[in-house]
């Protein structure tokens, strides 16, 4: 019994279902049982102080559920846990330490652990599709859903005062990449919201809207049985959603999604100012830098959820390759994560107490997908359901699953309200535009037009752009060049049109950041003036050469 008397620290990384439910289960057992168990400290590190109930995220987009009701405070689910709301800088499994990024107080913090639970889920793999990082909206956290909702309303507002028909169509085209659960539910709820929201915009009609779902497989919802997927496919198409199968997202920029036909490798351009990406995913970067063995990007663990190479390191949820006990690896869903959490908590305590451990075994209960407009599809205990009844079941099951009674009540009230109140179309502009940001241009895309208002300065990281004055190309420029400083320095319209010749990556700076940097950063004003002077001289020389000298 001596071992158990020593102070043991269990550190859990990740504020999703895997991490929070492991913490909850540990606290429940520690609080319940003997006194000396209080010598176990449970620390949870999460980027947020709440857990997001992802199945309801699409309903935040449509406004059927209030924003804050799809999240639940971790402190209330796992009372007594020591919570750090911090980024994780490094996992050091050799020295058994975790390094946390600084918060408001600018000190890094190093946590020692006896047992480590890694439940970091996965993230959008930005590197694989050019422009994805810069211009696609991910769809995983509450922040994503809020941004998407506000972005969609902004598109309607812009379209309502837009005089250019092409631009208007791009503003009213909404593209979702990924035809799995998340993509299908997202586009279904977006359609539901848009159809109701346009009623408040007298000069936008339902038929002006274009919604496109891009899926790389030959059908949507590959996770579900084919008859249900077909039902969903027909329903979405009937509502006017275009479903583009066998196409993969190839490139994204601010005003378009480029998709590739998997059969003939041909590219197709979709003019769209909204691109939501639910694929592809990859493990959290901090895992990739550990010596832990991975399999298809997921940490290899035994059916006791422990790393074979590093005892004391446990992993579960979407980031772990957990044998399901049914001959396959557990799919990355909440129902598996929650059950793994119970086993993980039990096995850690069993290890501390030298007791026998349990093996994870779970066959799954069923699968549900909401299709908006009070329709859903479900596979439960081998039976399949579709339509209104499946939708009621979907609601009942998810409300039941929500952590905390107060959230259950709140979501239930939201749904009641949704029956008789109109949808909210307010656009919350609480998101500051990034002052320094990366941008991607597709070949042929115009960065700005001659005469446009000069609101950003650009540095070319890679690629090639052409500069056009009065309809004539006057220069081509590329890597390392500065674009657009003239309008910012002179506070006037753009003196030329700039268009990408090849796919081009840029870093841009907002005009207010530019003003501050020019004013206060030593050397920046000189460097900028020099570039500006050279450019003016070059323009004059070109004009003289063309016999168009003004003097």
Contact between 475 and a copy of itself per CB under 8 A: no
Give least dist CB 134 to a copy of itself, A: 13
- Using a 10 angstrom Cβ sphere, with 0-12 exposed, 13-18 middle and 19 or more buried, the burial of residue 148 is buried
517 makes contact with a copy of itself (CB under 8 A):
yes
Would you tell me the crossing angle of helices 405-420 and 388-401 to the nearest 10 degrees? Answer: 150
> For 239, what's the count of Cα atoms within 13 Å in the CB-facing half-sphere?
26
Residue 147 contacts a copy of itself per CB under 8 A? yes
Cβ proximity to a copy of itself, 31 vs 355, nearer residue: 31
Nearer residue to a copy of itself within complex by CB, 242 or 435 = 435
Which residue, among 107, 133, 119, 134, has the nearest Cα to 78 in the 3D structure? 119
d(CA 193, CA 196): 5
Alpha carbon distances (Å) from 252 to 80, 486, 501: 45, 28, 16
73 binds a copy of itself (CB under 8 A): yes
Site membership for a copy of itself, residue 17 (CB under 8 A): no
Site for a copy of itself in 211-270 (CB under 8 A): none
Q: Which one of the spans 9-17, 27-35, 385-393, 515-523 is the region binding a copy of itself (CB under 8 A)?
A: 515-523
Handedness of CA 470, 474, 478, 483 (dihedral sign): negative
**Interacting residues of 407 by C-beta distance below 8 A, sequence separation 6+:** 53, 69, 72
Window 375 to 414, contacts with a copy of itself (CB under 8 A): 406, 409-410, 413
Please identify, among the stretches 185-193, 321-329, 357-365, 506-514, the one whose residues bind a copy of itself according to the rule CB under 8 A: 506-514
For a copy of itself, the binding residues in 47-66 under the rule CB under 8 A are 47-50, 66
For CA atoms 486, 491, 496, 501, give the dihedral sign: positive
Does 78 participate in binding a copy of itself (rule CB under 8 A)? Answer: no
CA–CA distance, 299 with 292 (Å, rounded to integer): 7
Q: Which residue has the tokens 């019994």?
A: 1
3 state DSSP class of 178: coil
- Closest distance between a copy of itself and the C-beta of residue 400, in Å? 18
Nearest CA to 229 among 271, 183, 198?
A: 183
Task: Pick the binder of a copy of itself from 37, 114, 167, 208 (CB under 8 A).
Answer: 167
What b/e sequence results for 182-211 when a residue is b if at least 16 CB atoms lie within 10 Å of its CB, and e otherwise?
bbbbbbbbbbbbbbbbbeeeeebeeebbbb
Minimum distance from CB of 317 to a copy of itself (Å)? 21
Strands (E) located in 450-516: 456-462, 464-469, 472-478, 482-483, 497-500, 504-510
Report the nearest approach of a copy of itself to the CB of residue 308 (Å).
Answer: 33
Q: 413 vs 544, which CB is nearer to a copy of itself?
A: 413
536 sits near a copy of itself (criterion: CB under 8 A)? no
Give 225 or 449: the residue with its C-beta nearer to a copy of itself. Answer: 449
Rg (the chain; Cα; Å): 27
Number of residues near a copy of itself (by CB under 8 A): 93
> Is residue 453 a contact point for a copy of itself (CB under 8 A)?
yes
Q: Residues 264, 354, 426, 550: which binds a copy of itself (CB under 8 A)? A: 426
**153 scored as a contact of a copy of itself (CB under 8 A):** yes
- Candidate residues 54, 72, 333, 340; the one interacting with a copy of itself per rule CB under 8 A: 72
**CB 415 to a copy of itself: min, Å:** 12
Cβ nearer to a copy of itself, comparing 241 with 252: 252
Which residue among 127, 143, 285, 311 contacts a copy of itself (CB under 8 A)? Answer: 143
Is residue 520 a contact point for a copy of itself (CB under 8 A)?
A: yes
**What DSSP element (H or E) covers 119?**
none
Q: Candidates 38, 200, 473, 544: give the one binding a copy of itself (CB under 8 A).
A: 200
Burial of 133 (0-12, 13-18, 19+ CB in 10 A): middle
Judged by CB under 8 A, which stretch of 226-234, 354-362, 469-477, 507-515 contacts a copy of itself?
Answer: 507-515
Instruction: Report the distance separating Cα 180 and Cα 223, nearest Å.
Output: 7
Which CB atom, from 154 or from 329, has the smaller least distance to a copy of itself?
A: 154
Restricted to residues 326-355, the positions that interact with a copy of itself (CB under 8 A) are none
In terms of CB distance, is 68 or 392 closer to a copy of itself? Answer: 68
285 near a copy of itself, judged by CB under 8 A: no
- Write phi, then psi, for 460 (nearest 5 degrees): -80, 120
- Among 6, 268, 512, 534, the residue binding a copy of itself under the rule CB under 8 A is 512
**379 bridge partner residues:** 367, 384
CA angle, 321 then 355 then 403, to 5°: 55
Which 19-38 positions form the footprint of a copy of itself (CB under 8 A)?
Answer: none
Using the contact rule CB under 8 A, the part of the chain among 10-18, 73-81, 213-221, 464-472 near a copy of itself is 73-81
506 CB neighbour count, 10 Å cutoff: 23
The two counts, helices (H) then strands (E), for the chain are 16, 34
Our finding on whether 71 is near a copy of itself (CB under 8 A) is: yes
CB neighbourhood size of 123 (10 A): 15
| Inter-residue contact 198 to 204 (CB < 8 Å) | yes
* Minimum CB distance to a copy of itself smaller for 199 or for 359: 199
Residue 208 interacts with a copy of itself (CB under 8 A)? no
Q: Which of 218, 276, 213 is nearest to 242 (CA)?
A: 213
**In the complex, least distance from residue 65 CB atom to a copy of itself, rounded to whole angstroms:** 11
């Amino acid at each position: 019994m001596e071992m158990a008397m020593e102070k043991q620290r269990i550190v859990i990384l990740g504020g999703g279902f895997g991490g929070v439910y492991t913490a909850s289960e540990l606290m429940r057992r520690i609080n319940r049982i003997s006194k000396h168990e209080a010598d176990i400290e449970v620390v949870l590190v999460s980027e947020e102080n709440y857990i997001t109930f992802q199945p309801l995220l699409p309903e935040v987009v449509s406004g059927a559920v209030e924003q804050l009701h799809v999240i639940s405070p971790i402190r209330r689910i796992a009372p007594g846990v020591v919570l750090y709301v911090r980024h994780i800088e490094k996992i050091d499994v050799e020295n058994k330490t975790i390094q946390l990024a600084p918060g408001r107080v600018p000190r890094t913090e190093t946590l020692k652990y006896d047992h480590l639970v890694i439940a970091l889920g996965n993230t959008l793999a930005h590197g694989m599709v050019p422009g994805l990082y810069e211009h696609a909206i991910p769809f995983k956290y509450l922040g994503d859903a809020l941004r998407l909702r506000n972005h969609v309303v902004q598109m309607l507002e812009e379209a309502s005062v837009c005089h250019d028909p092409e631009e208007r169509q791009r503003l009213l085209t909404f593209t979702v990449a990924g035809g799995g659960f998340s993509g299908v539910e997202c586009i279904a709820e977006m359609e539901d919201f848009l159809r109701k929201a346009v009623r408040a915009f007298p000069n936008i009609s339902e038929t002006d809207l274009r919604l496109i779902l891009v899926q790389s497989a030959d059908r949507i919802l590959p996770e579900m049985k084919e008859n249900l997927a077909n039902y969903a496919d027909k329903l979405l198409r009937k509502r006017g959603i275009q479903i583009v199968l066998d196409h993969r997202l190839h490139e994204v920029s601010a005003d378009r999604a480029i998709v590739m036909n998997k059969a003939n490798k041909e590219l197709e351009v979709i003019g769209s100012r909204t691109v939501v990406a639910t694929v592809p995913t990859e493990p959290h970067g901090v895992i990739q830098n550990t010596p832990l063995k991975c399999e298809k990007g997921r940490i290899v663990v035994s059916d006791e959820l422990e790393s074979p190479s590093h005892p004391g390191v446990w992993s579960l949820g979407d980031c772990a390759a957990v044998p399901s006990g049914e001959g396959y690896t557990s799919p990355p869903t909440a129902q598996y994560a929650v059950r793994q959490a119970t086993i993980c908590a039990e096995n850690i305590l069993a290890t501390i107490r030298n007791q026998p451990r349990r093996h994870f075994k779970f066959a799954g209960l069923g699968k549900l997908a909401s299709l908006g407009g009070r329709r859903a599809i479900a596979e439960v205990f081998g039976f399949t359901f579709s339509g209104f009844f499946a939708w009621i079941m979907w609601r009942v099951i998810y409300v039941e699953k929500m952590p905390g009674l107060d959230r259950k009540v709140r979501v239930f009230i939201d749904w009641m309200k949704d029956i008789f109140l109109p949808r909210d179309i307010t656009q919350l502009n609480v998101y500051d535009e990034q002052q320094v940001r990366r941008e991607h241009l597709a070949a042929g895309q115009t960065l700005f037009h001659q005469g446009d208002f000069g609101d950003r300065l650009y540095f070319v990281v890679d690629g090639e752009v052409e500069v056009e004055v009065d309809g004539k190309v006057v220069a081509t420029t590329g890597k390392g060049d500065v674009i657009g400083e003239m309008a910012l320095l002179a506070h006037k319209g753009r003196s030329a049109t700039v268009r990408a010749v090849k796919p081009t990556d840029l870093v841009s700076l907002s005009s207010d950041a530019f003003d501050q940097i020019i004013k206060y950063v030593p050397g920046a004003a000189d460097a900028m003036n020099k570039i500006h002077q050279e450019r003016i001289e070059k323009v004059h020389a070109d004009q003289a050469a063309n016999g168009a000298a003004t003097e």
